[in-house]
């Protein structure tokens, strides 16, 4: 049955306008895939990682395979696409688009599996550097700078959520589109300057904003403690230098929890002594 499908050069329901132009995918299916992409990590686990999520996202497109939903081609493709997969959740859209195209184009299963494996590394590392280590801290620090400059709750939230999600949703939409358009030739499309040089530019911009945001946020948040602001800035500089040298297992938030617990205990002890 599989061989029969593979002899068909194009999937019957995915019409090709020209040899090199992408087949069309109905808007409703694109929308279904796009919505499902936001849920790609809901069944994340240490065995399949994103694997089941990729199958879940591609599933609407697979219904267009010969035999339709529940057909042999559909079931084989869904099983293949639901195996182990790892990538950044936003850039996984590239893989979903490309793999959906490969399946509907009738590519050989072995080639699809090799291609799928090859996509994991780049989509994971580029996404982590671009989003988690670049875009997210940049937006977060910009929101902290706005807070430090006196912005109110609504302004801070709108700035952070608006800016972050413009990049977030844009990246997912671009990923799905470029993946579908290029199919198994998507590697060349991933060499765009934004993905190659974007993380470094973002890191520099975020570093600049960090320098501005930290003292400003500290200055506003300290409130009545402003009289001791100079001392606090010096202590923060010293403690920050030490925090940067902490071993990986002793993360700063653990240390913060410990210091706060000691401070609370000290305050309670002070009350008892004064009484």
Partner 1 sequence: MPDLHLVSLTAVGAVLGLDAVSFPQAMLSRPIVASTIGGAMVGDPVAGLLAGAALELVALETLPVGASRYPEWGSASIVGGALLGSYGETAPGGLSVTLFAAIATAWIGGWTMVQMRGLNGLMARRFRVAINAGSSTAVVGLQFAGLLADLLRGGLLTLTALLVFEPLMHATLGVWGASPRYSRAVSIGVAASVASGAVWKLFRGTAGARWYLLCGLALGLVVMTFL
Applying the rule CB under 8 A, the residues between 105 and 144 that interact with partner 1 are 124, 128, 132-133, 136-137, 139-141, 143-144
**Residue with Cβ nearer partner 1 (15 or 118):** 118
Q: Binding residue for partner 1 (CB under 8 A) from 166, 192, 250, 261?
A: 261
Footprint (CB under 8 A) of partner 1, residues 216-235: 216-225, 227-229, 232-233, 235
Per CB under 8 A, contacts with partner 1 among 22-81 are: 38-39, 41-49, 52-53, 55-56, 59, 69-70, 74-79
Closer of 39 and 118 to partner 1 (Cβ):
39
Q: Give yes or no for residue 214 binding partner 1 (CB under 8 A).
A: yes
Residue (118 or 260) nearer to partner 1, CB: 260
- Say how many residues touch partner 1, by CB under 8 A: 115
Using rule CB under 8 A, residue 178 touches partner 1: no
Is the Cβ of residue 82 or residue 182 nearer to partner 1 in the bound state? 82
Cα 54–55–61 angle (5° rounding)?
A: 105
Site for partner 1 contains 209 (CB under 8 A): yes
Give the one residue of 66, 86, 107, 109 binding partner 1; rule: CB under 8 A. Answer: 86
Q: Does 187 bind partner 1 (CB under 8 A)?
A: no
* Residue 208 binds partner 1, judged by CB under 8 A: yes
Q: Which is nearer to partner 1, 119 or 141 (CB)?
A: 141
């Amino acid at each position: 049955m599989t061989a029969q499908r593979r002899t068909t050069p194009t999937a019957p329901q995915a019409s090709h306008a020209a040899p090199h132009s992408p087949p069309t995918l109905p808007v409703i299916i694109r929308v279904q895939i796009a919505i499902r992409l936001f849920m790609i990590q809901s069944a994340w686990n240490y065995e399949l990682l994103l694997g089941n999520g990729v199958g879940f996202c591609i599933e609407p497109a697979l219904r267009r395979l010969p035999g339709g939903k529940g057909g042999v081609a559909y079931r084989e493709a869904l099983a293949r696409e639901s195996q182990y997969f790892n990538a950044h959740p936003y850039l996984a859209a590239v893989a979903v688009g490309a793999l959906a195209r490969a399946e509907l184009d009738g590519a050989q299963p072995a080639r699809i599996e090799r291609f799928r494996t090859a996509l994991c590394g780049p989509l994971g590392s580029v996404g982590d550097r671009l989003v988690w280590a670049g875009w997210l801290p940049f937006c977060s620090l910009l929101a902290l700078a706005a807070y430090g400059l006196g912005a109110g709750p609504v302004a801070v939230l709108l700035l952070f959520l608006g800016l972050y999600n413009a990049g977030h949703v844009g990246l997912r939409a671009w990923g799905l589109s470029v993946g579908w358009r290029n199919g198994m030739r998507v590697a060349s499309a991933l060499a765009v300057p934004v993905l190659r040089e974007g993380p470094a530019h973002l890191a520099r911009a975020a570093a600049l904003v960090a320098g501005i945001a930290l003292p400003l946020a500290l200055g506003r948040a300290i409130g009545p403690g402003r009289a001791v602001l100079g001392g606090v800035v010096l202590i923060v500089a010293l403690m920050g230098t030490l925090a940067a040298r902490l071993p990986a297992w002793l993360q700063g938030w653990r240390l913060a929890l410990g210091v706060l617990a000691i401070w609370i205990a000290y305050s309670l002890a002070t009350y008892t002594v004064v009484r």
